[in-house]
Amino acid sequence: MPICHIYDSSGTQLVRFNTEAYAQGGRISIGRSSSCSISLKGFAQPYVSREHFVLDKRGSVWHILDRSHIGIVKDAVRVKSAPLEEGDIYRFGQLFFCYGATARPSDYDLCWEPDGRAALWPGVNSLGASTDNYVSIRQGEVSRFHALLKVKGESLVFENSNRNIVSFLDGKRLDATPIALNTRSNLVLGDVPVRLQKVSRHAADSVEMSQEDLSPDEVLALQAKKRKGKIPFALLCLLIFSFGFLAFLMIMLYILFL
């Protein structure tokens, strides 16, 4: 009965839901469309598709399937589909899908001036200027895909993406050899100083929906309630056209019989 969470890049929890509540249908869609099982419309971002990915139950195992042009990423590698395991974390755009109670942000943030901050995630984090990174630093001489930072418990290992990338640790230029970091490390990406900070994660202040305690029937009722009263777009257009045409006829009749 895995619990799933969706976080933003700062490590703030946005959504929490229980896969058991959707087991009967065997399919959970996630995206920014209001028609998705888990709608992220309230947290809309340009790199989240209308239906970004789907959780599909096959037997007793849930699988994740990419439905976007942007992709889903695990350990800095793009994934098309895969069975889900406890602790899995997938990035989509600048949001993070976490599967199971143990899947959550690490206890470390990466910080840079003037006020940049992003959570680091267990596993492999890509760093760079492109928004298609776990940590996006869009300033200075940071390369599009600058480096990888691997987090495993208290272990932090940094690695340039190639030997031509310019990074410095404690004043010494780095090659592509992996090197251990800690919170006292003076790391510079290109010409941008960054630092590691250990943090204490607290419960999210804003959670869009929480369905841990809902039964499957209650979830279906909640979804029906969300859909109730919504007028299909095509019908809305037809109504507007009809009222406009009726108004036109009334004006013409008024002119003719004036």
Do 90 and 29 lie in one domain? The reply is yes
Positions in the chain short of pLDDT 50? 204-209, 211-220, 222-223, 226-227, 229-230
Do 20 and 89 lie in one domain? The reply is yes
What's the mean pLDDT when you consider all of the chain? 88
Do 36 and 66 lie in one domain? The reply is yes
Q: What is the pLDDT of residues 156-169, one digit of tens each?
A: 999 999 999 999 99
In angstroms, the CA 43 to CA 35 distance is 15
Is residue 238 assigned to a domain?
no
Do 188 and 209 lie in one domain? The reply is no
Is residue 125 assigned to a domain?
yes
CATH number at residue 189: 2.60.200.20
pTM given for the model: 0.79
Structurally, the chain folds into a number of domains equal to: 2
Q: What is the pLDDT of residues 25-50, one digit of tens each?
A: 999 999 999 999 999 988 867 789 99
Do 154 and 100 lie in one domain? The reply is no
Do 99 and 136 lie in one domain? The reply is no
**Which pLDDT value is given to residue 165?**
97
Do 36 and 146 lie in one domain? The reply is no
Do 96 and 155 lie in one domain? The reply is no
Do 28 and 97 lie in one domain? The reply is yes
Q: What is the 3-state secondary structure (H, E, C) of 80-91?
A: CEEECCCCCEEE
Is residue 250 assigned to a domain?
no
Q: With contact defined as beta carbons under 8 Å apart, do 39 and 31 qualify? A: yes
Which domain does 161 fall in, by range? Answer: 108-198
Do 14 and 100 lie in one domain? The reply is yes
